[in-house]
Structure 1
Amino acid sequence: MRREHGTPRDGWEKTIESQGLAYHRAAHPSGLSRPYWDESVHYIFSMDEVEALEEQVEELHGMCLRAVEHVVSAGRFADFAIPAWAWEEVARSWERRDPHVYARFDLRYDGTGPAKLLEYNADTPTSLVESSVVQWFWLQDVHPGGDQWNSVHERLIDRWRTLSLPPGPTHFAFTNMDETGEEAMTVAYLQETAEQAGLQTMAIAMEDIGWDALNRRFMDVEGRMIRSAFKLYPWEWMLADEFGRHAVRHATWIEPLWKTLLSNKALLAILWELYPDHPSLLPAYLDGPRELTSYIAKPLLGREGASMRIVTPEETQETPGTYGQEGYVFQGFEALPVFEGQRPVLGAWVVADEAAGLGIRETTGYITDDTSSFVPHRIAD
């Protein structure tokens, strides 16, 4: 694994915008010294590294599924701050094996040993368009004939083909709260992969989904019944909504309700409990840092690096935010590796239950947040 410099393509901004990364300016805070999409650098991996990472990702995913089974069978929903009224519905969703499509592991990796799990974005992962499409076309333009850890697009299409969904169109829901366009473009891309798989689809805003109390069903703005829907909208928000009690019982939602147990950072503590000292895990606890002298306190439902606290013998750092009332997990802290002053985090994609590709974000700080830049990668010739 190494970081290499290159010359950005002429007109790269218009190129990536035409490929779906229309939000690259709006999603990145102004005043930063580098753009969100930065093709002036990229990472190179050996095929051996990629194959080892694929194995580790699929092993981690299997461990996570077994962790869900443990939580459901032991009834440990309170550890995840899930409202008590939804516990039985989460269990039923898992027992039915409600269909799932994709997820993203965030990993610490420096090329010298096993990757370490930082968290699992299993409900509403983004940075998909840049991982699946934009960096692939970068590779074709800049390194024609080169290789990349990236079968995301093909695997998404294959996954939609295998799902057994109710009759009628599958609705693809974004939220009007999205000010940057990132979520809308991510949903539009996933809708396109579903259409390529032969599904009939409809786009809709979450805010436009209606509840027909008389017939007990969800409806779109044109009065069509919503039988199945992909939503880039967190389950914890849905469970807090007045319609949440209906959502858990009506329609097929992707990602499914049982993914509340994978997208919640309490998962990290459950994994450490089930697989202590596993080489791809960092120690993690729900009741405090215990023996850890260096740790990071992560809110169970936190997003974009908000409301975190890093504690080491030398210093304490905190990030602003409003999360944390739901509780924290305390995870052993290992700083991200440094490559030319930048700290990369590997976003390893899982489609269905298989490793599918890689996206890399990097920043100078310890925590990867909305100030980070996405950089492409390739496999060594």
Structure 2
Amino acid sequence: MKRIAVEPRADWQVTAARYGFRFHSINGEPYWDESAYYAFTLEQIERDIETPTDELHHLAMSLIDDIVASEALMTKLSIPVRYWDWIADSWRNRQPHLYGRMDLVYDGRGPAKLYELNYDTPTSVYEAAFFQWIWLEEQQQRGVLAKHADQYNQLQELLILAFAALGKSLRKPFYFAAVRNSLEDQGTIEYLRDCAVQAGVRGDMVAIEDIGLSTKGTFTALDNKVIGSLFKLYPLEHLFSDTYGPYLPSSGLQLIEPPWKAILSNKGILPLLWQRYPDHPNLLPAFFDAEPDTPLPPGWVRKPLLSREGANVHMTLPDGESISSPGRYTKCPVIRQAFHPLPRFEGGYPLIGSWVVGDTPAGMGIREDATLITRDTSRFVPHAII
């Protein structure tokens, strides 16, 4: 694993505009960063990323039966009681799911370690599936990368196949929804909608703010058309706490991702994995933290169960140094996970996002931050297999 500096394409912003990549910069700074790429060997990808991704995914899935059957575990995950049966039924009926991303720390040598699962509203799929592949092809054409260079990236192909399979069970009409004013979220659902179209599945767009509730308790779009199925790039836990949340279980609405994903997208899955599979080479020791107000011992990290984009993470490094990030999750229950630092490269600290489509490992993207905490402003850096 190497970080290799290269000259960015002079027309990369024009290329991004041509392909609808409107969120390539954040606050005037590049979010998409092709001033370097990470190079891997095929063995590193297959042995250290793809194989552990497959195993970790199936280990996590193996816990769901026990969790939905346990009031104690659902309570530990801070899932509201009124949604327990709905979530359990969605799992027992094996309501279909689309994709997920697990965040891995990997330095090219030791086994990859799981930081967390992003299995409800994972972002950066457009960058990972599409735009970094365009980068690879163009850099090969321009002689920057060798013709035999490759990429761990079957994401788009598998997403199209997954939508083709989903199309057989989706309740019609089907919609894609995200927050209206988020360029990143809107760009993500536009890309996923395009994948669905390529699979022969039609889906309209609606802003999450424009979804209403009919007098019959069904959810509707602006034209008062009842929504049959909804891909929502909007967290399940936010839906639970919204005004219309209590109507979800009886509404007949089919969600993608399904309600049972609330279990896997919760950081409480990490201590449950460690409890079931202690000393697994790809897991870090993790525990529910019953005393979150006490000082954090050196060599540990605190994470809120429901935080996103690195919010409210607190680290105490082995030497006693503390690092923390701000956020909105100040009153959320937390877990404690063993500190295992991201590797340091010239450009910062890379975090590997390893994708699963359905139940199949599908590819990866790399986010790079100037600190040990990967945040929403972290840069996306492409990769290649050399």
Q: Match for residue 300 of structure 1?
A: 305
Compute the RMSD of aligned alpha carbons. 1.7
Match of 2:259 among 251, 257, 260: 257
Structure 2 residue 145 is the aligned partner of structure 1 residue 142: no
Q: Match for residue 238 of structure 1?
A: 239
Matched to 2:335, the amino acid is V
Q: Match for residue 222 of structure 1?
A: 223
Deviates more, 1:314-323 or 1:270-279: 314-323
Give yes or no for contact 1:23–1:182 (8 Å, CA) kept in 2: yes
Structure 2 residue 336 is the aligned partner of structure 1 residue 330: yes
Q: Match for residue 39 of structure 1?
A: 34
Distance in 2 separating the partners of 1:271 and 1:29? 38
**Structure 1 residue 322: deviation in Å?**
1.9
Distance in 1 separating the partners of 2:155 and 2:311? 28
- Shift of the 324–278 alpha-carbon distance from structure 1 to 2, 3 Å rule, reads farther
**Structure 1 residue 243: deviation in Å?**
1.1
Give the share of equivalent positions with the same residue, in percent. 41
Deviates more, 1:287-296 or 1:193-202: 287-296
- Shift of the 242–143 alpha-carbon distance from structure 1 to 2, 3 Å rule, reads same
Give yes or no for contact 1:307–1:320 (8 Å, CA) kept in 2: yes
SS in 2 for 1:236: helix
Match of 1:186 among 185, 188, 202: 188
- Shift of the 323–182 alpha-carbon distance from structure 1 to 2, 3 Å rule, reads same
Distance in 2 separating the partners of 1:262 and 1:177? 27
**Structure 1 residue 38: deviation in Å?**
1.1
Distance in 2 separating the partners of 1:174 and 1:287? 33
Q: Match for residue 3 of structure 2?
A: 3
Deviates more, 1:288-297 or 1:100-109: 288-297
Structure 2 residue 357 is the aligned partner of structure 1 residue 355: no
Aligned residues: 372
Match of 2:111 among 99, 111, 114: 114
**Structure 1 residue 74: deviation in Å?**
2.6
Matched to 1:363, the amino acid is D
Give yes or no for contact 2:229–2:254 (8 Å, CA) kept in 1: yes
Q: Match for residue 68 of structure 1?
A: 64
SS in 2 for 1:70: helix
Give yes or no for contact 2:298–2:320 (8 Å, CA) kept in 1: no
Give yes or no for contact 2:23–2:31 (8 Å, CA) kept in 1: no
Distance in 2 separating the partners of 1:292 and 1:274? 24
Structure 2 residue 102 is the aligned partner of structure 1 residue 105: yes
Deviates more, 1:65-74 or 1:365-374: 65-74
Q: Match for residue 322 of structure 2?
A: 316
Deviates more, 1:328-337 or 1:70-79: 70-79
Taking structure 2 as the reference length, the TM-score comes to 0.93
Matched to 1:299, the amino acid is P
Give yes or no for contact 1:165–1:228 (8 Å, CA) kept in 2: no
CA deviations over 1:218-273 (Å, ceiling 9, x no partner):
12111222111100000000000121122233211000110011111111111111
Distance in 2 separating the partners of 1:341 and 1:172? 36
Match of 2:124 among 127, 151, 156: 127
Matched to 2:40, the amino acid is F
Deviates more, 1:307-316 or 1:360-369: 307-316
Give yes or no for contact 2:171–2:254 (8 Å, CA) kept in 1: no
Deviates more, 1:64-73 or 1:97-106: 64-73
CA deviations over 1:29-61 (Å, ceiling 9, x no partner):
44x6xx211111001111111111111001000
Q: Match for residue 173 of structure 1?
A: 177
Give yes or no for contact 1:288–1:330 (8 Å, CA) kept in 2: no
SS in 2 for 1:124: coil
Matched to 1:5, the amino acid is A
Match of 1:56 among 35, 52, 64: 52
Deviates more, 1:308-317 or 1:370-379: 308-317
Distance in 2 separating the partners of 1:363 and 1:318? 14
Match of 2:165 among 162, 165, 182: 162
SS in 2 for 1:248: helix
Matched to 1:325, the amino acid is K
SS in 1 for 2:213: strand
**Structure 1 residue 93: deviation in Å?**
1.1
- Shift of the 103–166 alpha-carbon distance from structure 1 to 2, 3 Å rule, reads closer
Matched to 1:46, the amino acid is T
Matched to 1:189, the amino acid is Y
Q: Match for residue 280 of structure 1?
A: 282
**Structure 1 residue 177: deviation in Å?**
4.8
Distance in 2 separating the partners of 1:166 and 1:369? 34
Matched to 2:117, the amino acid is Y
**Structure 1 residue 292: deviation in Å?**
6.2
SS in 1 for 2:101: strand
Matched to 1:14, the amino acid is V
Deviates more, 1:288-297 or 1:98-107: 288-297
